[in-house]
Structure 1
Amino acid sequence: MDAGLTEQLEELRARVESLEQGGQENKLSMVVFSGDLDRALASFIIATGAAAMGMEVMMFFTFWGTPLLRDPKKSAPGKDMMGTMFGAMLPKGAPAAKLSKMHFGGLGTRMMQGLMAQKNVASLPQMIDLAAELGVRICICDLSMSLMGFTRQEMLDYPDLLYCGVATFLEQAMGSKVQLFI
């Protein structure tokens, strides 16, 4: 058989396989919209589980999920009034996240954190570290950061942290086998 014809046949075979799989790759793309402790834990448990199974994982933090990635040890001086207000009203990083239900003025959150420690369940900051070790990519929504007055200087030191818009996330999600919104 002609080499050119063999090459065309292989290309067609690859296209058919891609169409049979829906053009999707072994990827997980996740929108993290909530900054609640229980939802954030679920997000990181799913993300690290997928990464451990060999999936490429991207977490897109937007709106109320964005404050989870603030570093409690960092400050960002020179913010405008709205940025200062958002900064004061929203949790400063993962350690400050609260339960979505049964918070009870902080008591429910402390009880859950104590129970997690007792049962050797990783804390949210530990889950973030594990995600970094497993190569989970994190993207923070530029628009959300701008609206809430957050700066890059106050975010966590996370390997290859990406600041992007929705188009970058959607490009990733279009080829993903799994897409989640938490």
Structure 2
Amino acid sequence: MIQNVTEHQLAELEATLRQVAGGRAAAKPDHVQELTRRVESLERRLAESPDPNSINLLVFDGSRDKLLAAFVMATGSAACGFRVNMFFTFWATAALRKNGPQFGRKSLVERAFGWMLPRGFAATKLSRMDMCGVGRCLMSREMRKKNVADLNELLSTAAELDVKISVCEMSMQLMGIRREELIDYPELSYCGVASFADLAAKANTTLFI
């Protein structure tokens, strides 16, 4: 609403300036300067205001059900025309790993993280009622019966809809995850908290999952 009002005010001021410039309205020099200043001020406010068509998702939890929720919201929003950015940090970062060997020289702690953390979506657990994998199997069976897309399908859909995925570099360093270990994704990038904070400041909605 604020942005719409600002755009309306800006359009009115620009129309007045065009009339003055075309000689259709009489105005004193100081009045023209004031109008120009107001237009410039409104343009700055409009440029700095949050983008109503942009949504950010900060994905912290690496549980399968919460990852499903994150990707469902991301793909659904992108299908509705929103620009979507997903920022994976801490435990969610491990879900983006390939199911393969660890890369590079690592410390004992880093290798322990690599052994204990899930490798890819298939190794993730439910946040509740996992029951040593029984809950996962039941959930997967119900999803297939009811034609609900799984995480791999949602990831492919996200790529088709130009959903951007960023991975927290600090989390990767902390857990010893190398870039070579992550999935292949067309919009995958690496950034820090400052970059995400900048995206969040420019977006109209930011969700924490």
TM over 0.5: yes
Larger radius of gyration: 2
Matches within 5 A, 1:151-162: 151-162=178-189
> Within 5 A, what are the aligned runs for 1:1-182?
1-2=20-21, 10-15=39-44, 18=46, 23-25=49-51, 26-73=53-100, 75-182=102-209
Deviations 1:112-143 (A, max 9, x none): 01110111111111111111111111110000
Gaps of 5+ in 2: 1-19, 23-31
Give the AA of the match of 1:170: A
For the residue of structure 2 that corresponds to 1:30, the secondary structure is: strand
Contact 1:32 1:59 (C-alpha < 8 Å) held by counterparts: yes
Distance 1:157 1:74, change over 3 A: farther
Letter in 2 for 1:155: L
Q: Distance in 1 between matches of 2:167 and 2:101?
A: 17
> 2:152, 2:54 → 1: CA distance?
24
CA distance in 2 between counterparts of 1:109 and 1:147 reads: 28
Work out whether residues 35 and 97 of structure 1, in 8 Å CA contact, stay in contact via their aligned partners in 2. yes
- The one of the two structures with greater contact order (alpha-carbon pairs below 8 A, sep at least 6) is 1
**TM-score normalized by the length of structure 1:** 0.90
Aligned residues: 179
Q: CA deviation at 1:165?
A: 0.2
Identity %: 42
* Aligned-partner Cα distance in 2 for 1:102–1:91: 18
Q: 2:187 & 2:74 partners in 1: Cα distance? A: 16
When normalised by structure 2's length, the TM-score is 0.79
Mapped to 2, the partners of 1:146 and 1:44 lie a distance apart of 24
- Would you say the 8 A contact 1:71–1:154 is kept in 2? yes
- Deviations along 1:153-181, one digit per CA (max 9) or x if unpaired, are 00000013111100000100101111000
- Equivalent-residue separation in structure 1 for 2:41 and 2:168 (angstroms): 38
2:102 and 2:114 in contact (8 A); partners too: no
Q: Within 1, Cα distance between the matches of 2:175 and 2:42?
A: 49
In structure 1, C-alpha distance between the alignment counterparts of 2:70 and 2:156, rounded to whole Å: 14
- What is the aligned-residue RMSD (CA, Å)? 2.1
Equivalent-residue separation in structure 1 for 2:44 and 2:195 (angstroms): 24
Question: What is the deviation of 1:75?
Answer: 3.8
For structure 1, the 5+ residue unaligned runs are none
